[in-house]
Structure 1
Amino acid sequence: MLTERDIHQIVERVVQGYAPDLVGLFGSYAIGRSTQASDLDLLVIKRTAEPVHARVAAVRSQLVGVLHPMDIVVVTPEEFEARRREEYSFTWVVARQAKVLFRAQGVTLLADAREWGRAG
């Protein structure tokens, strides 16, 4: 199981190598129900024209050597905002679970989400 420190190191690699607008957790680590079998679910939001598969590959390339299973979702701010209000959609659920680990200066996406490691 990953520690909070492990997660922050993973996020730092993504931030340094991919320069996202926002990185957050969703799934079991975000809701405090992670187990030994849990993967790490990362939400990465970045303003980019890259196709979806290229975005995910770019983030994964920053995480070479991380042996923990991960589910990485990379969307643009526009894609995220367009889907977050579709009741019971994947993005709607993620928006309600998200714990923000990194937010670039001036970014207001998920402003209502709890920050990782802080009471919410």
Structure 2
Amino acid sequence: MIVQRIVEAYVPDKIILYGSYAYGMPRPDSDFDLLILKETTEPPRDRRFAVRKAIWPLPTTIPVEPLVVTESELARRLEIGDQYFQEIVSRGRTVYDRQGLARSRRMVRSRRPRLRSRRSASQRP
């Protein structure tokens, strides 16, 4: 529900859940840690505010900690060996990937003609 709301209102490229919920070890005081990738020129503070605004009306008792970065910012952090981001990328769980969705939709569309032709062939006497 949280991810869906962020996707609808903020339109990110990718969302990665990391931290205790992603690693299967949440505690009562745990929050949802989300790395959100989006190409934007907004300052980091405004990005975070936009995500919080998108999820604000949702009835959740678990706090959400969004970290919004661009692809180039993430690449730069990984390039300099930032262990925090390395752990997110290596251990986090991708919960939304716009390119992955687009790829899946293209695959389904490209297979439809073949599926139709197989069905018609199997229905022939």
- The verdict on a shared fold, with TM-score over 0.5 as the criterion, is yes
CA-based RMSD:
1.7
Q: Select the structure of larger CA radius of gyration.
A: 2
Matched, 1:32 2:24: yes
Instruction: For residue 99 of structure 2, give the secondary structure of its aligned residue in structure 1.
Output: coil
The residue that corresponds to 1:67 in the other structure is 61
Q: Does 1:49 align with 2:41?
A: yes
Name the count of aligned residue pairs: 99
Structure 2, unaligned runs of 5 or more: 102-125
Partner of 1:17: 9
Counterparts of residues 2-13 of structure 1 (less than 5 Å): 9-13=1-5
Q: Distance in 1 between matches of 2:80 and 2:86?
A: 6
Identity of aligned residues (%): 34
Structure 1 partner of 2:95? 101
Could you tell me the TM-score, scaled by structure 2's length? 0.72
Q: What amino acid does structure 2 have at the position aligned with 1:70?
A: V
Q: Specify which structure has the higher proportion of helix.
A: 2
Does the 8 A contact of 1:86 with 1:92 survive in 2? no
- Structure 1-normalised TM-score? 0.75
Name the amino acid aligned to 2:6: V
Task: Find the aligned partners of 2:16 and 2:65 in 1 and give their Cα distance.
Answer: 12
Separation in structure 2 between the aligned mates of residue 87 and residue 37 of structure 1, nearest angstrom: 29
